[in-house]
A and B are shown apart, each in its own frame.
Chain A
Amino acid sequence: MSAWLANYAAFLSDRQADIWTALREHIVICLIAVLFGAVIAIPVGMLLAGNRKGWLNGLVFTIANILQTVPSLALLAILIPVLGIGRTPAIFALFLYSLMPIMRNTFAGFQAVDPNVIEAARGMGYSTAQRLLQIQLPLAFPYIMSGLRVTTVYIISWATLATLIGAGGLGQLIFSGMGVNKKELIVTGALLAVLLALLADFVLGLAEKWVTVRTKSAPAAGTETAG
């Protein structure tokens, strides 16, 4: 066992540069995908919550749902003729996956705002945009944060497949390990992906708690409707 550990340590120091590169690539891919996902999905979720046309909401959610059900490997393959190979199609595929959960959580957060609060805001002369941004957005923030957290954890694990279209990342370590039958590579890749996901979950969890306290809007501490 100790011999194995010594071997493993030697391997780590030997392949240090590769490992760091893979980790960095992985983080960059996930970060960009989630970031773009948030930039698109949060406003879309807000708009859907603000509009009163039920069919439009249905349509958008159906499209996002269908995207969600396409197997990730298939999605990556489909994207090759369109976007070629490399980092861009990988990020694009992961971005498509991130849309649905972020949008759904944003929408749910906006829907969960006490209707009395919304009526009061309307009656006192908030315009629709002001109401969405100044009242509903802060109150929906805990929901949005929890959407981001769940999405990030998923994306980190899915991103290991990105290496199949040449995007690099921790998946590269795992697949090359499988290719040359080197367990250390597989273990390192998998372990780092898990640790990265746990770390993201922890940090975003703290952020979620922080906004919840700041906005006094956790579902548990909701407004007293009975007054």
Chain B
Amino acid sequence: MIRFENVNKTYEDGFVALKSINVEFVEGELTVLIGPSGCGKSTLMKHINRLNNPSKGKIYIRDQDISKIDPVELRRKIGYVIQNVGLFPHMTIAKNVIVVPKLLNWDKEKMERKVDELLQLVNLDPQTYRNRYPSELSGGQQQRIGVIRALAAEPDIILLDEPFSALDPISREQLQDELVRLQQELKKTIVFVTHDMDEAIKIADTIVLMKDGEIVQKGTPEQILRHPANEFVKSFIGKKRLASDTFDPDLTLTVDEVMSQHPVTASPGRGMAEAVQFMERQRVDSLIIVGRGKELLGHASIFRVLNRYRDENVKLSDVMQPFDYVVESGSSVALAVALMNEHGLPYIPVVRGSQFVGLVTKGSLVRHLADVYNPDDMSIEELEAESAKLGEEALLSPSPEDGHDLQEGSDRV
């Protein structure tokens, strides 16, 4: 669909932004360009709508050399979303959405229909929002408008330049989900620039990893996670993600991957009645006491709390007990399990220095086992059926027919 052939970009001051780039963006796919800042990912993307022009080399869209297309005409056929939205403050939302159709002289009624359709697509009520001005919308809403503005003229290609990085984490997640959903419906050729690996893994069909104006690796998220091309890719992906996204029995499993990260904690200043009510509401039988800076102080069981319940002046800091055993973040699960087994502990806290970071419990261990042994999230019924089959197989000598059945069974899930 979009093909770069030996594209070089050198700026007037001699800075080399792109070094002989050869890459193809596949039709109907969402390709993420990712890399540290200054690696040339935005520069590369802006070559597609000729906001940048190559110093050397050619770019083709559908086998047509784009240096021969008028840049203004070209840009009207390519959707474009930028980081800081860039809505036109003097126009209503409706007018903002249809700027490109208007430049293309669409029929008026068709444009009005398009506005309503697009607003509904991102769950904004047309009645409410059509006549508002950009300054009356929240950041997340503004960028939704930014995205549908790029869709308005129904382009085949959409370029997004770090569109969600200025948003708060909640809006960012929502917009990522919406983009994935939209893409499933629309099947556009999307080029998406980001520096956020989590975002890339979440939305990409293909990831193109760049560094210093060169492409370091290109592949599906799965391929890049499993087979990082070199140390740079590894460090960019991050060790933790490598370990958790590719299950490798040789790799030591750390407590960080098994612990529950949001156990029920309480501050030492709480009274007994408060503590009881809190435990009741959270359905737990003991509380982890942490200080203001999340430093681990101790634990208090329901029995100790109830013993001192009559005394109104007693605080959790008076009844709590220090932990005899803790594990450092990064230690192996084996150590945690050994300690719990040895000393009959129901749980063991994970700390980083004096900071409390999580809790390994029997429950969290079982949940992790489930992830490993039942990765497809089969239902109990399905698992029972499978076990029954395995049992039969063990009793009877396996016949070819049985093997075939089993094959079908696993295909179904």
CB within 8 Å of B: which residues of A? 114, 116-127, 130, 135, 138-139, 214-217, 221-227
Are A117 and B103 in contact, with the CB atoms below 8 A? no
Are B51 and A123 in contact, with the CB atoms below 8 A? yes
Are A114 and B73 in contact, with the CB atoms below 8 A? no
What are the residues of chain B within 8 A of A124 when measuring CB–CB?
75-76, 80, 99-100, 103, 149-150
Question: A130's contact among B86, B87, B103, B142, by CB below 8 Å, is which?
Answer: B103
Extra contacts, 13 of them, besides A126-B103, A216-B90, A227-B85 (Cβ < 8 A), are: A114-B86, A118-B86, A119-B51, A119-B86, A124-B100, A130-B103, A139-B89, A214-B90, A217-B89, A223-B87, A224-B139, A227-B142, A227-B166
What are the residues of chain A within 8 A of B167 when measuring CB–CB?
227
Q: In the docked arrangement, what's the CA distance between A92 and B150, Å?
A: 49
**Smallest CB gap from A225: residue in B:** B84
Within B142-156, the residues touching A (CB, 8 Å) are 142-143, 146, 149-150
Q: In the docked arrangement, what's the CA distance between A214 and B146, Å?
A: 22
Q: In the docked arrangement, what's the CA distance between A119 and B49, Å?
A: 12
A-B pairs, 8 with minimum CB distance: A120-B86, A125-B76, A125-B75, A123-B80, A116-B86, A116-B84, A227-B139, A215-B90
A222 CB → nearest B CB, Å: 7
What 1/0 mask marks residues of chain B from 74 to 88 whose CB sits below 8 Å from any chain A CB? 111100101111111
**Smallest CB gap from A118: residue in B:** B86
Q: In the docked arrangement, what's the CA distance between A122 and B146, Å?
A: 14
Are B103 and A223 in contact, with the CB atoms below 8 A? no
Are A224 and B100 in contact, with the CB atoms below 8 A? no
Q: How many residues of B contact A (CB 8 A)?
A: 33
Are A120 and B103 in contact, with the CB atoms below 8 A? no
Are A139 and B90 in contact, with the CB atoms below 8 A? yes
Are A216 and B166 in contact, with the CB atoms below 8 A? no
Asked if B134 lies at the interface with its beta carbon under 8 angstroms from chain A, I say yes
What are the residues of chain A within 8 A of B120 when measuring CB–CB?
none
Q: In the docked arrangement, what's the CA distance between A122 and B166, Å?
A: 21
Q: In the docked arrangement, what's the CA distance between A202 and B194, Å?
A: 51
Write 23 A-B pairs (CB below 8 A) sorted by A numbering.
Answer: A119-B51, A119-B82, A120-B85, A120-B86, A120-B88, A122-B51, A123-B51, A124-B75, A124-B100, A125-B72, A139-B89, A214-B90, A215-B90, A216-B134, A221-B135, A223-B135, A224-B135, A225-B84, A226-B139, A227-B84, A227-B85, A227-B139, A227-B167
**Smallest CB gap from B75: residue in A:** A125
Are B133 and A216 in contact, with the CB atoms below 8 A? yes
Question: B100's contact among A125, A127, A139, A214, by CB below 8 Å, is which?
Answer: A125
What 1/0 mask marks residues of chain B from 31 to 54 whose CB sits below 8 Å from any chain A CB? 000000000000000000101000
Q: In the docked arrangement, what's the CA distance between A123 and B100, Å?
A: 10
What are the residues of chain A within 8 A of B135 when measuring CB–CB?
216, 221, 223-224
What are the residues of chain B within 8 A of A117 when measuring CB–CB?
86-89
Are A123 and B82 in contact, with the CB atoms below 8 A? yes
What are the residues of chain A within 8 A of B159 when measuring CB–CB?
123
What 1/0 mask marks residues of chain B from 294 to 323 whose CB sits below 8 Å from any chain A CB? 000000000000000000000000000000
**Smallest CB gap from A113: residue in B:** B89
Q: In the docked arrangement, what's the CA distance between A222 and B73, Å?
A: 30
What are the residues of chain A within 8 A of B100 when measuring CB–CB?
124-125
What are the residues of chain B within 8 A of A222 when measuring CB–CB?
89
